[in-house]
Structure 1
Amino acid sequence: MSGHEAGEGISGGEVGGQREGGAFSGDLGRLGAEDLQRLQASLRQIQDLHGRMERLLEAVLAISSELELDAALRTIVEVSAGLVDAEYGALGVLNDEGHFSDLFTCGVSQEVYDTIGRLPTSHGLLGELVAHPGPLRVDDLPAHPSFREYPEGHPPMRTLLGTPILVRGTVYGNMYFADKRTGEPFTGDDERIIAALASTAGVAIENARLYERIRRSTEDFQRSLLPQLPDLGNLRACARYRPSTAVPKIGGDWYDAILLPDGVPCLMVGDVMGHDLRSATVMSQISNMLRVIAYEHCEPPSRVLQRLDEILHGLHGGPMATVLLARLEERAGLGWRLWWSRAGHPPPLLIPPDGPVRYLDGNGGHPLGVTYELPRPDHEQIVPSGSTLLFYTDGLVEDPERGIDEGLATLAGVASGLRHLPLDEMCDRLLAHRGGRFTDDVALLAVRLADPGTPHREGRSPDGAEAVEAR
């Protein structure tokens, strides 16, 4: 083959350098411009296919990683719409009667919902897919015999791609996508991709529903181990428990409050190390032992904790736990005397009626289970009437993305702005300040101090937590 002939191939230098490579290089040299264009188009198609497969795998991982049901449904529709380059996407959840009970969308503004309503009707093309679950691809919506006019305010749509989502063989809902951003109709490849994602969505939805059932059962079991708050005299008390929003596990967080024989309210918050059934069992044992020891001895908080540690070492080998134990004594004309001791537990937060909010730090002591021979310190603080005291476990202030100091500062700042709210509302807002998401369980016990001698009456706060309201 001449140099001129080689030059009509890819390039003279490239092909000429391959002449001794044998028949393959000779065949390559004889390719014309049209052959090369076809080859380059094929290579681009392979590259596009490879890229789309990567995006499909990423989409499957994104859909499968969500365990919260609503978050999973939003992720499904958003990821799927992005993969087929659709301007609009929706996932409609169906009830037992085949009507829409919920809808998750992307690309549709809130103004549209305000105009046309949130849930679609089971008519027209959407009704067609409900009545006959299966893939549906329409290149010209207005020309389809089942098409019905859009309601006023609905964005005009030209093309549609739909598929049902099956969960254990039952139609859970349908996914719809409208109008590719390129202006072209949806393709067979788009239909196959959405069908694959619908299968993944079915598994993800079933996992999310199972997760929700497990979480509710876990939370119910945990709550069954926690006490109802008694009448604490001139204290308005409120307690909350929230499980971790990570994969649900039984935890060891608890709160408790009792009225001692000398009439003094005793407040307790603790956290057993670990997240399993053993932790919950140990938590129940420790909390019950602690209330008995505190009731029997009426001693300084540090001595009560030391005695508890001795017993735990003797009976259970010293399980690790943090605890805060406090007595609140009325002082006529002087407010209240808070007398407390900590076993490695976060400090209480003092929220006065006015003025700066601050933590009552002092020496935190060592956790239970380390050694019962080391002395534990007691701390005292006169607290003005009308103040609120927060006792909590570290799940309320811990976050992997920030340090504990930042978490404590954030809690103090939020609590400062909520001090004039009713106590139960204050507790709910404190739990909501991080979006209700926690990487660890949270036990929260809040008390508001009335003037000594003020009459009081019982009430009940949300979540079934007993409350005593001072009047």
Structure 2
Amino acid sequence: MTWRRHPRSASADDLLTALGRLTDRARKTAEIQKARVELAEVLQRSMLPSDLPEVAGLRVAARYAPARNGLDIGGDWYDGFLLPDGSLGLSIGDVQGHDVEAAAVMGQIRIGLRAVATATVDPGEILGRANDLLLSVDQGLFATCSFLRFDPATGVVESARAGHVPAVWASGEGCGIVEDETGVPLGIVPGEVYPVVRRRLTEGDALVLVTDGVVEGPAFPIEAGLGAVSELVGRAVRERVSAGGLAAGVMGLTALTDHTDDAAVLVLMGAAEAAVPE
């Protein structure tokens, strides 16, 4: 018996052609999305410092991860700069929204904090003046922020918080969440007062600050996220992980939160002497 191949029906040919077109379109869409994510990351990173200053007694590292939704550019930031008295000023924060406007306001707040810090080195006063400055330009957006000042002469960290996520600390004696008092976010209430908390950072101690994109997700509460950070930081201090390694590890926790927001991490570690930022 001779077997003969039946001619393919026109409908089958059309189906295969359509399938090929859909496959090609999906591939091109994936390539475009990848390009959009890369563009968003380049734009965002261009607004963040390329490196952080070096001071005696401190190792500092930072990481940033963009939002996962293409050009949903976020308003998360970190910063570090020398203050007039030789101490180090550091900030981390998150502007409301996920668009170009939020990113623009983020840049303005960073510049504003630096400008205010030329007149005063008190973290609470810096946040207070930055708050009034943000209200005066009437952007209609608010921002959470933590500002810190590290004094290399004493090893003391002074910090103030404007509605931002609490910091996590660890030393040879343990680890936990910094339960300090906070003021409201910047850009909401004029004349707000921001309390200052002081903590000595000795060799091997760590202080870690994050934005909510690191510790909170659609089905992941912030308390669980902070708990995971605390556990990781405590283990890193015991194992003498570097500041850069710790920052990378904390950023890796975004896999737990399934974050769609952008995210930033800032790590301070006490050191015997100055070290190049990681």
- Structure 2 counterpart of 1:344: 163
- Structure 2 counterpart of 1:178: none
Task: Write the distance in 2 (CA, Å) between the matches of 1:377 and 1:304.
Answer: 11
TM-score normalised according to structure 1 size: 0.53
- Whether 1:424 and 2:253 are equivalent positions in the alignment is no
Task: Encode CA deviations 1:418-467: one digit per residue, 9 max, x unaligned.
Answer: 3322221222222223439521111111121113xx3x343xxxxxxxx1
- Structure 2 counterpart of 1:440: 261
C-alpha distance 355-246 of structure 1, shift in aligned 2 (>3 A): farther
Task: Write the distance in 2 (CA, Å) between the matches of 1:293 and 1:392.
Answer: 23
| 1:249 counterpart letter in structure 2 | D
Task: Encode CA deviations 1:391-424: one digit per residue, 9 max, x unaligned.
Answer: 2211000110121111111222223233322221
* Unmatched segments (≥5 aa) in structure 1: 1-186, 459-466
Task: Encode CA deviations 1:316-375: one digit per residue, 9 max, x unaligned.
Answer: 35630011001122465xxx32211111001111121x2322111212220011112232
Task: Write the distance in 1 (CA, Å) between the matches of 2:77 and 2:124.
Answer: 19
For residues 372-391 of structure 1, the aligned pairs below 5 Å read: 372-391=190-209
- Whether 1:302 and 2:120 are equivalent positions in the alignment is no
Task: Write the distance in 1 (CA, Å) between the matches of 2:217 and 2:180.
Answer: 23
For residues 218-237 of structure 1, the aligned pairs below 5 Å read: 218-227=40-49, 228-237=51-60
For residues 91-110 of structure 1, the aligned pairs below 5 Å read: none
Task: Encode CA deviations 1:302-326: one digit per residue, 9 max, x unaligned.
Answer: 1111111112211235630011001
Q: CA RMSD in A?
A: 2.3
Task: Write the distance in 2 (CA, Å) between the matches of 1:432 and 1:425.
Answer: 11
Task: Encode CA deviations 1:67-93: one digit per residue, 9 max, x unaligned.
Answer: xxxxxxxxxxxxxxxxxxxxxxxxxxx
Contact 2:34–2:70 (CA<8 Å) still a contact in 1? Answer: no
- Structure 1 counterpart of 2:233: 415
Q: Which has the higher contact order (CA 8 A, sep 6+)?
A: 2
- Structure 2 counterpart of 1:263: 86
CA shift at 1:195, angstroms?
A: 5.2
Contact 1:309–1:369 (CA<8 Å) still a contact in 2? Answer: yes
Percent of aligned pairs sharing the same letter:
30
Compare CA radii of gyration and give the structure with the larger one. Answer: 1
- Whether 1:313 and 2:135 are equivalent positions in the alignment is yes
For residues 39-78 of structure 1, the aligned pairs below 5 Å read: none
Task: Write the distance in 2 (CA, Å) between the matches of 1:404 and 1:190.
Answer: 52
- Structure 2 counterpart of 1:245: 68
Of stretches 196-205 and 429-438 in structure 1, the one that deviates more from structure 2 is 429-438
- Structure 2 counterpart of 1:325: 147
CA shift at 1:286, angstroms?
A: 0.6
TM-score normalised according to structure 2 size: 0.87
Task: Write the distance in 1 (CA, Å) between the matches of 2:13 and 2:173.
Answer: 63
Aligned residues: 266
Task: Write the distance in 2 (CA, Å) between the matches of 1:443 and 1:277.
Answer: 17
| 1:338 counterpart letter in structure 2 | V
Structure 2 counterpart SS, 1:357: strand
Task: Write the distance in 2 (CA, Å) between the matches of 1:357 and 1:316.
Answer: 40
Task: Write the distance in 2 (CA, Å) between the matches of 1:403 and 1:197.
Answer: 41
